[in-house]
Amino acid sequence: MKTKRKLSDFGKLTQAEQRIVDEIDSGQVIKLGDGKLPPENAGDDRKARAELIRYLAIGGCDACKTHEKGLRIWGALIEDVLDLEGCNLGRDLALLNCRFLENPIFRSACIDGLFLNGSYLHKGLRADRLETKGGVNLSQVQAEGTVSMIGAKLGGDLDCVGAAFSNAGGRALSLDGLDVTGTFFLQNGPNVVGMMVLTAATIRTLNDDPECWPKAHGDLLLDRFRYGAITSACVDAKTRKKWLALQNPTNFGHDFWPQPYEQLAKVLREMGHRGDAREILIEKEKRQRDARRKRRHKITRPFYWLWDKGHAITSRYGHQPLIAFIWLLGFWTIGAATFYYAEANDAIKPNTARILRAPEWVTCGFTTSERRYLPSMQHLVTGRAAAGQTQLACYLEQKEALSYPAFNPYIYSADTLLPIVDLEMQSNWIPDEDVIPWIRKYLWVQIIAGWFFSLLAVAGFTGLIKSD
């Protein structure tokens, strides 16, 4: 049967270890030396064995019980592995300004609060599935290798203010599946060299700074990362699009991750930044469609490109359908100019068969010095138009035309463009393709564009298409 370990089993204690044992029940921070981060070659006044710290932290020493506030050491050099895997401390553990030459292990441990402020982790940190009642404080920490907190559950904040994580070519900060009920602080210039992985992590609020993000494209993973709010100042779409663009799903066998964009848009919208949320969704559509086109056959890609660009310029992929009003205004302006030109060049005529067969219209087709035989009238008829006068101008001078609506190119453009209104202009006038061959074709283009953009505008105005 294994006997309980005693303090005497550790043999002679270093000066630093003896001080820790002497002050462990004081409830105060045990300051070794000047309390600053010790060098790698520090002497016995700073050295403390990891196994002794573990022994004291779990309350193994009956003669030197750890204070209820927990074990708090400031400025220790810890040369070997501090292994607290699976341990239930039931109190705080604070190892401040300590230098860890080997990576401390907190896998599946239960701790009230973990504080490593200002420490140097030469080989990273293993804290997968760690559970804390409070938070984890890594402020001002310098870490080489991977700081891993996969699946950890924190009852407070994760504080990485001023920290630096470095593992070029690998994971520098691995937070897959992390659950933080408080705030994730990533402020004041933490330098993340390597990958920062937040896949499937969940936190209440995010407080970050663009200067703290990984610099290399592809070193940020946000797929299925969920958060309730952003409490830092960088909540504008321009900044956040750069944040999302640091991802590179193709490195992991995916062409695109839509969830990070949807999540960010949801949070921005709930925070009242509806315009920024809409911009994020537009960016998501753009990138998702770009990725989808790459899966298409190279022959069909140009057609999909045209289709996607059409959605982009007409309604910004459905997120700004009211932009259709601008398109309608543009077509109305072009139409008014076109029909004004047509009228000036005698390329407008009545749009009713009765008028086109009537003598007053037909006889305006030739001058008063001409006589023609008209089968419809079965005799010779003298023309009514003066020399140089257009048929339309002649007709409008006839008393039979006094009740006929006058042509107005501005109203005509609106009448042909807006299918939901009837200004009684299109039913009375039509471009004459015999005079200007292309004018009738433009009319059909305007009518089709009017239907399309009018329906789009109505849908956006009534909310049938969401604008964010």
What pTM did the predictor assign? 0.76
pLDDT of residue 380: 77
- Where does residue 356 fall: left (phi above 0), alpha (psi -120 to 50 degrees), or beta otherwise? alpha
Reported confidence tier of residue 353, pLDDT bands at 50, 70, 90: confident
Contacts (Cβ under 8 Å, ≥6 apart) of 357: 376
Phi, psi at residue 412, to the nearest 5°?
-60, -40
Residue 378 clears pLDDT 70, i.e. is over it? no
Q: Indicate the range of 49-53, 206-210, 347-351, 447-451 predicted with least confidence.
A: 347-351
Residue 59 clears pLDDT 80, i.e. is over it? yes
Q: In the numeric block, which tokens belong to residue 194? A: 């390597």
Contacts (Cβ under 8 Å, ≥6 apart) of 354: none
Mean pLDDT over the full length of the chain: 88
- Report the chain's C-alpha Rg in angstroms: 39
Q: Is residue 202 helix, strand or coil?
A: strand
Tens digit of pLDDT for each residue in 282-313?
A: 899 888 888 888 888 788 878 777 777 766 77
Q: Indicate the range of 204-208, 378-382, 439-443 predicted with least confidence.
A: 378-382
Residue range 162-180: mean pLDDT, rounded: 96
Contact yes or no for 182/154 (Cβ under 8 A): yes
Percent of the chain past pLDDT 70, that is, above it, reads 95
Residue 317 clears pLDDT 80, i.e. is over it? no
More confident residue, 185 or 11: 185
pLDDT of residue 466: 53
pLDDT of residue 468: 53
pLDDT of residue 2: 56
More confident residue, 421 or 264: 264
pLDDT of residue 262: 95
Tens digit of pLDDT for each residue in 230-244?
A: 999 889 999 999 999
Residue range 356-382: mean pLDDT, rounded: 73
Residue range 255-265: mean pLDDT, rounded: 95
Reported confidence tier of residue 272, pLDDT bands at 50, 70, 90: very high
Contact yes or no for 194/218 (Cβ under 8 A): no
Residue 328 clears pLDDT 60, i.e. is over it? yes
Residue 461 clears pLDDT 70, i.e. is over it? no
Nearest 10 degrees: CA dihedral of 189, 194, 199, 205?
0
More confident residue, 376 or 317: 317
Phi, psi at residue 400, to the nearest 5°?
-70, -20
Residue range 261-289: mean pLDDT, rounded: 93
The residues that bridge with 195 in the sheet, in sequence order, are: 171
Q: Indicate the range of 24-28, 166-170, 295-299 predicted with least confidence.
A: 295-299
Residue range 72-89: mean pLDDT, rounded: 95
Whose tokens are 């799903």? That residue is 249
Which residue, among 140, 138, 100, has the nearest Cα to 121 in the 3D structure? 100
Q: Indicate the range of 171-175, 179-183, 458-462 predicted with least confidence.
A: 458-462
Contact yes or no for 199/226 (Cβ under 8 A): no
Residue 161 clears pLDDT 80, i.e. is over it? yes
Tens digit of pLDDT for each residue in 90-148?
A: 899 999 999 999 999 999 999 999 999 999 999 999 999 999 999 999 999 999 999 99
DSSP-derived secondary structure letter, 89? -
pLDDT of residue 386: 79
Per-residue exposure over 7-32, b if at least 16 CB sit within 10 Å of its own CB, e if not: beeeeebbebbebbbebbeeeebbbb
pLDDT of residue 413: 93
- Rounded-to-integer distance, Cα 189 and Cα 208, Å: 10
The residues that bridge with 110 in the sheet, in sequence order, are: 88, 131
Contact yes or no for 105/130 (Cβ under 8 A): no
The number of residues making up the chain comes to 468
pLDDT of residue 1: 46
Q: Is residue 132 helix, strand or coil?
A: strand
Q: In the numeric block, which tokens belong to residue 139? A: 């402020």
